[in-house]
Amino acid sequence: MKRIAILGSTGSIGTQALDVIAANPTLFEVFAITGHSNVELLAQQARKYKPNMVIITDTDKYSTLKQMLADVDDVKVFAGMESVCDMVAMSMVDMVLTSMVGYAGLQPTIAAVKAGKTIALANKETLVVAGELICQLAAKHRSAILPVDSEHSAIFQCLAGEQDKSIEKLLLTASGGPFRTFSMEQLAHVTKADALKHPNWDMGAKITIDSASMMNKGFEVIEAKWLFGVQKEQIEVLVHPQSIVHSMVQFTDGSVKAQLGMPDMRLPIQYAFGYPNRLPNNYERVDFTKLNTLTFEKPDLERFRNLAFAYYAMEKGGNMPCILNAANEVVVAAFLRDKIGFLAMSDAMEWAMQTLPFIQNPTYQDYVETDAHVRKMVAEKISL
Ligand code: NDP
Ligand code: MG
């Protein structure tokens, strides 16, 4: 029985992870769940799954949650990020799913890695911001990081039984999002509602905007570098609008392996939870006779500049990816409140990368300070 802590259980990945656990009650148990603002859903989940602990990271909501769960025995209620960091290090925890959104995932992921836990990593922002630090800590504390992101899960599955030195390149597929075929003129006028309609995946708001702007794919390039220890030149993005081939690996002999499946995040979540075993399920299967075509094309870095920003930040290293991530979090939140246009998001990120202080060898504290400073400066720049 694996005891799993789910950080961000109230989100899109978190709720699907709970479904996977509920479908495999003899294999997995929910040890703890955390949420930030959605106190009603968190309380509902606590009643249903009876975890040992439930934590609300927004401390203002603690008393409401405590009241809601007053009649539930055996579920301890806590609040705040410090509680999350203490919880993930507890000996009872076998695996930590990092499915909270954004930079907020960094601190508890570091705590879990330092405690030598197995991480099922959905929160890609952690590796974008501090990939080098996380990899060093994971090696030192023997913490295994299993990818949940569908592309990285696909690559991980393709690499089973292979040696790292046999990798020639990773072929990271991208749906291209809802604006794949849009001109610059059209992109200048897209709305939040347009951007929130992803053609193939149903996800949280932030990652849905990141997918429409290709920032998500840029972050996934950086995520792949750290997860699989490859160089920039070895990561190629291919736009594949059908989202059936989740990614591929080309080996040094020219052979290519791909992982295919229906677009359903429960599959990579289940693979990480069950690893190294494959678990049966009854999710929808690929019907090859109904797939008319699978197409692949090069991404357009002129219309989707964010992807080029990510390659630049990755090459530059240091705190540059942290600057890009913090700027992106500010502009996406602003876009979701109709405070900034779609293309202006990229302009603000470019400004941040060109203007704000670069640090070549950042410490953890430098990341914390960079994140706070960039947020403040970008908010000022776009007059929030
Ligand atoms: P959602 O927005 O659906 O959920 C985010 C979760 O994080 C919620 O539980 C939310 O709590 C919590 N949260 C929000 N802000 C904070 C904070 N400041 N501190 C602590 N917790 C917080 O996001 P997704 O599930 O879509 O994405 C989660 C992560 O997984 C992201 O890093 C994303 O990139 C990654 N991912 C997601 C995929 C998907 O299909 N959704 C695919 C691949 C990766 P509450 O709702 O209670 O406020
Ligand atoms: Mg992905």
Mutate to test the pocket of ligand 1, among 10, 56, 100, 247 (most ligand atoms within 8 A of CB): 100
Q: Which CATH class is domain 2-147?
A: alpha beta
Condensed to tens digits (0 to 9), the pLDDT of residues 122-165 reads 999 999 999 999 999 999 999 999 999 999 999 999 999 999 89
Q: What pLDDT, on a 0 to 100 scale, did the predictor assign at position 253?
A: 98
Q: What pLDDT, on a 0 to 100 scale, did the predictor assign at position 198?
A: 87
User: pLDDT class for 266, splitting at 50, 70, 90?
Assistant: very high
Q: What pLDDT, on a 0 to 100 scale, did the predictor assign at position 366?
A: 98
Residue 185 reports pLDDT greater than 90 = yes
378 DSSP β-pair partners: none
120 DSSP β-pair partners: 97, 146
Task: Please provide the DSSP assignment of 302-354 as one string.
Answer: TT-HHHHHHHHHHHH-TTHHHHHHHHHHHHHHHHHTT-S-HHHHHHHHHHHHH
Q: How far apart are CA 371 and CA 129, in angstroms?
A: 9
CA 56 / ligand 2 centre spacing (Å) = 26
Of the chain, the percentage scoring pLDDT greater than 70 comes to 100
Six-digit token pair at 318?
Answer: 């240091």
The crossing angle, in degrees rounded to 10, of helices 124-140 and 106-114 is 20
- Residue spans of the domains in the chain: they are 2-147, 152-262+284-312, 317-384
Closest atom of ligand 1 to 123 CA is 32
Q: What pLDDT, on a 0 to 100 scale, did the predictor assign at position 199?
A: 86
Within 6 Å (CB) of ligand 1, which residues are found? 8, 10-14, 35-38, 57, 99-101, 104, 122-125, 149, 201, 203-207, 265
Mean pLDDT of the chain: 97
Which amino acid is located at 33 in the chain? I
Q: What pLDDT, on a 0 to 100 scale, did the predictor assign at position 284?
A: 97
The crossing angle, in degrees rounded to 10, of helices 305-316 and 215-228 is 30
Please work out, in degrees rounded to the nearest 5, the angle formed at the alpha carbon of residue 258 by the alpha carbons of 148 and 228: 50
Q: Which residues surround ligand 2, an ion (CB under 5 A)?
A: 149-151
User: Looking at domain 317-384, which CATH architecture does it have?
Assistant: Orthogonal Bundle (1.10)
Condensed to tens digits (0 to 9), the pLDDT of residues 335-359 reads 999 999 999 999 999 999 999 999 9
Closest atom of ligand 1 to 150 CA is 43
